[in-house]
Amino acid sequence: MPEFNPSQLQYGGDYNPDQWSRDVWLEDVTLMREAGVNLVTLGVFAWANIEFAEGDYHFDWLDEIFELLHENGIGVDLATATASPPAWLTVKYPEVLPVTASGTRLSHGGRQGYCASSPIYRERAKALAEQLAKRYGNHPALKMWHVNNEYGCHNPMCFCDVSAASWRRYLRERYGALDELNKAWGTSFWSQRYHHWDEILPPRQTPDGTYPNPSMMLDYYRFSNDEILSLFTMERDAIRAVDPLHPITTNFMTMKHTKFMNYWKWAEEVDFVSTDHYLIADDVDNHIDLAFEADLTRGWAKGKPWLLMEHSTSAVNWQNVNLAKLDGQMLKNSLSHVARGSEGAMFFQWRASVSGSEKFHSAMVSHTGTDSRTWRNVVELGEKLAELSDVTGTDTEPAQVAIMFDYESWWALSQKNLPSDNIDYTHLAHEWYATLWQLGVRVDFVSPKASAAELSKYPLVLAPMLYLMSEQTEAQLIEYAENHGSLVVSYFSGISNERDTVKLGGYGGKLVREILGVFVEEFSPLLPEATQVLSNGMAAHRWSEVSEARGAQVLASFTDGAASGSVAIAKRQGSKPSWYLATSLEQQSLRNFFTQVVQELQLVTAGGNGVEVVKRGSRVFEIDHNSGTISF
Ligand code: GLA
């Protein structure tokens, strides 16, 4: 497997020269050199400018650009241009277009307008990837391959008949016998039993006020993820057959609400992880969100080099109000990623478009040109990255705390008919992460498949709302808590198995009942505006539950409502202490809770209260979000 081992930090962005005339290309390379750009991502959305009709390829402009970039010492991350099928393809084969859950076939005109199961899309995408690999696989400017773009961003699920056939094939493979599927989905409920495979449809829109079977829906998330991932591996293998030397990646999406792709799985298929991150402008703590996402990316990469493939120099174009970045914010954002292991800082995009729906998205070269704050920032960042080249190839110092992050729990909790609409998987994970960030405690991320041995590297493992818990995950967590370290587990964890079948005999399964020592018998979620003061004076919201301690020490109990007197916070002594949080603590209380945990476990802290301190290689990055100062 070719490795991604750059000799310097990568700097540049998406480059779309096909939107510009040749005289602009010359200015581009001059400016790229001025800014210290050493890598550009070429041709992400260029399919229609390369293939004019089926099999009618035009590479002249790409040939020229390759030469020009090479002459100027700029490397190429070549996209396979398959992210947006051209109009000729969807006119000739309209069945390529995706269909929504309510049966509407979408039109050409945006981007990513294809169904992942479409054999025609697959055939044409593979052919294009092969053509590009044959033509540019040996070009000295080529540094890496960039397959498609942000898979599943706009078309994470398709509900057409072609998808339905593929879905049935997937289910046959997963369950073998129809009876197994009926058992897994609990189809004795609401007359949902299947007597023949052909009766199974995708989870299309159901009558008002009802929703598809949740276990089926969960499998549709899995199927859709795997189907899209197989698009990637198809292109990857087509390139690899021609060019065995250059690493192949595809850019993941680390934005707060991108849930459809299970990147633990994707990370196993790419030669190296790359990702895109955009700030949510109206989130005042969006730098903490950035740190969360960068640490999560580092988790997927498992200590191997990864790359921030896109972020923005300033405003984006797709939020309600697209705030410009403050002075110094871009530098802080880029360095916060580099501190967490990114082998550089790349942007969308090099030069701001003048037409199309992204014309008001910031870029490295803005509409104003070089007489601008953006350009000065871009040149400054290029200088800093050059100064930092010694961190290239080094890892960030591992944290002492790990969050177990699980897409499948997120998928199950994204559905309807749960005890409350007021519980949110990623929200809770973010709250815990942010609290520790403010306490100066760094956090790594681990997959629910992590073994007890992997977990044992951490004195503390957190399981916020790990709703689905397979036997295997539960066994590893138990082994960890009994022999290696401390757990903090939240309410609504371990409720169902991987089929979303509820575990009987006390909610939370063996982990909560026997290891954490709390017997939970009924949920009692709180109304959105309700706050409850617990017996220890802490403030809680969103959740309570009727329970009793069976082995745990009760640190706080609920004081009101159906759960009055039940366990709110419990502690249990295993090899080390572990905690069960049966509610969502409000900000200050959560901080107090984690302060106690950190003190008791004697975890190392650095920075905190708005200051992040991250060690990478021989550098200590210190980014002070209060004063704006940065040192490294
Ligand atoms: C995504 C895409 C880019 C661009 C940016 C805009 O990350 O990959 O092509 O559309 O969003 O923020």
Residue 574: band (very low, low, confident or very high) from pLDDT cuts 50, 70, 90: confident
What's the pLDDT at 98? 98
What's the pLDDT at 197? 98
Average pLDDT of span 114-140: 98
84 close to ligand 1 (CB < 6 Angstrom): no
The answer to whether 588 and 429 have CB atoms below 8 angstroms apart is: no
Average pLDDT of span 288-313: 97
Find the 287 Cα to ligand 1 centroid distance in Å: 19
Find the 602 Cα to ligand 1 centroid distance in Å: 42
pTM for the structure as a whole: 0.98
* Separation CA 291–CA 60 (nearest Å): 42
What's the pLDDT at 115? 98
pLDDT, one tens digit per residue, over 581-603 is 999 999 999 999 999 999 999 99
The answer to whether 408 and 218 have CB atoms below 8 angstroms apart is: yes
pLDDT, one tens digit per residue, over 342-393 is 999 999 999 999 999 999 999 999 999 999 999 999 999 999 999 999 999 9
* Separation CA 631–CA 621 (nearest Å): 6
pLDDT, one tens digit per residue, over 253-283 is 997 768 999 999 999 999 999 999 999 988 9
Catalytic status, residue 150 = yes
Residue 152: band (very low, low, confident or very high) from pLDDT cuts 50, 70, 90: very high
Burial of 631 (0-12, 13-18, 19+ CB in 10 A): exposed
* Separation CA 446–CA 73 (nearest Å): 38
DSSP lists the bridge partners of residue 404 as: 446
Average pLDDT of span 304-323: 97
* Separation CA 351–CA 360 (nearest Å): 11
The answer to whether 235 and 80 have CB atoms below 8 angstroms apart is: yes
pLDDT, one tens digit per residue, over 528-543 is 999 999 999 999 999 9
41 close to ligand 1 (CB < 6 Angstrom): no
What's the pLDDT at 257? 67
The two counts, helices (H) then strands (E), for the chain are: 18, 27
43 close to ligand 1 (CB < 6 Angstrom): no
Q: What is the mean pLDDT of the chain?
A: 97
Nearest CA to ligand 1 atom 3: 348
Closest ligand 1 atom, CA of 150? 8
CA 562 to centroid of chain Cα atoms: 37
Average pLDDT of span 67-90: 98
276 close to ligand 1 (CB < 6 Angstrom): yes
What's the pLDDT at 482? 96
Burial of 273 (0-12, 13-18, 19+ CB in 10 A): buried
Per-residue buried b or exposed e for 207-237, using 16+ beta carbons within 10 Å of the residue's own CB: eeeeebbbbbbbbbbbbbbebbbebbebbbe
Find the helix or strand (DSSP H, E) in which 582 lies: none
350 close to ligand 1 (CB < 6 Angstrom): no
CA 227 to centroid of chain Cα atoms: 17
DSSP lists the bridge partners of residue 546 as: 522
Report residue 207 as tokens: 């009558």
* Separation CA 531–CA 627 (nearest Å): 34
Closest ligand 1 atom, CA of 276? 7
Report residue 247 as tokens: 């690493």
The catalytically annotated residue of 293, 310, 431, 545 is 310
361 close to ligand 1 (CB < 6 Angstrom): yes
Catalytic status, residue 431 = no
Q: Which of 249, 313, 348 to mutate to test the pocket of ligand 1 (most atoms within 8 A of CB)?
A: 348
Report residue 20 as tokens: 């510009």
* Separation CA 565–CA 524 (nearest Å): 13
Average pLDDT of span 176-200: 98
Average pLDDT of span 114-134: 98
The answer to whether 586 and 539 have CB atoms below 8 angstroms apart is: yes
285 close to ligand 1 (CB < 6 Angstrom): no
What's the pLDDT at 196? 98
What's the pLDDT at 143? 98
* Separation CA 96–CA 267 (nearest Å): 27
State the CB neighbour count (10 A cutoff) for residue 560. Answer: 13
Task: Say whether 561 sits in a helix, a strand or coil.
Answer: helix
Q: Please name the residue that has the structure tokens 């979408």.
A: 106
* Separation CA 19–CA 122 (nearest Å): 26
pLDDT, one tens digit per residue, over 51-73 is 999 999 999 999 999 999 999 99
DSSP lists the bridge partners of residue 396 as: 616
